[in-house]
């Protein structure tokens, strides 16, 4: 917690950003956990967080999912890092991913998939950085240059 550079490296967030996101994440966690069990079944009785849980604190839960999403490790490796089994890690990853998605949606931080809304939003921005994706390039029309540049073994 006190090593700011390590929190940033592990989650992609500074401690201040982490705390700001944690408030909404906790709200969505409490909302889910008051109605459903960890397995997704409708809750029959009130349950309290156990101190012996593998992820006892809400900070642990959010740190767990942010580290998973940033580093994208194998579930087995992620489970080892957090001292749990792979099936437990799988269950937590799926549950907390949905909670984080709801959190980001509430805060308006999800990427927009509607191109018309995106154009409207970008009109107010002075500078926009686009994520460049790999695109196939045109092959030379000249047969000699084409054979020199391409082996013919790869299909696009």
**pTM higher than the cut 0.85:** no
Specify the pLDDT at position 110. 81
Mean pLDDT of all residues in the chain?
A: 85
Quick: pLDDT tens for 7-54. Answer: 899 999 999 999 999 999 999 999 999 888 888 888 888 777 676 788
Quick: pLDDT tens for 82-116. Answer: 999 999 999 999 999 999 999 999 998 887 777 78
The alpha helices in 12-85, defined as continuous H runs, are 15-35, 58-71, 75-81
Specify the pLDDT at position 75. 95
Q: Which residue has the higher pLDDT, 55 or 45?
A: 55
Angle at 16 between CA 13 and CA 18, to 5 degrees: 45
Q: Which sequence spans correspond to the domains of the chain?
A: 4-107
Are the CB atoms for 91 and 79 separated by under 8 Å? no
């Amino acid at each position: 917690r006190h090593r700011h550079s390590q929190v940033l490296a592990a989650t992609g967030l500074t401690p201040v950003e982490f705390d700001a996101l944690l408030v909404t994440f906790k709200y969505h966690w409490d909302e889910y956990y008051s109605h459903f069990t960890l397995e997704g079944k409708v809750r029959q009785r009130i349950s309290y967080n156990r101190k012996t849980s593998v992820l006892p604190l809400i900070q642990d839960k959010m740190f767990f999912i942010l580290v998973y999403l940033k580093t994208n490790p194998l579930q087995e490796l992620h489970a080892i890092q957090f001292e749990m089994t792979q099936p437990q890690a799988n269950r937590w990853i799926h549950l907390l991913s949905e909670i984080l998605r709801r959190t980001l949606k509430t805060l308006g931080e999800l990427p927009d998939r509607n191109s018309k809304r995106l154009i409207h939003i970008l009109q107010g921005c002075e500078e926009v950085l686009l994520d460049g994706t790999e695109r196939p390039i045109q092959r030379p029309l000249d047969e000699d240059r084409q054979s020199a540049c391409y082996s013919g073994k790869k299909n696009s």
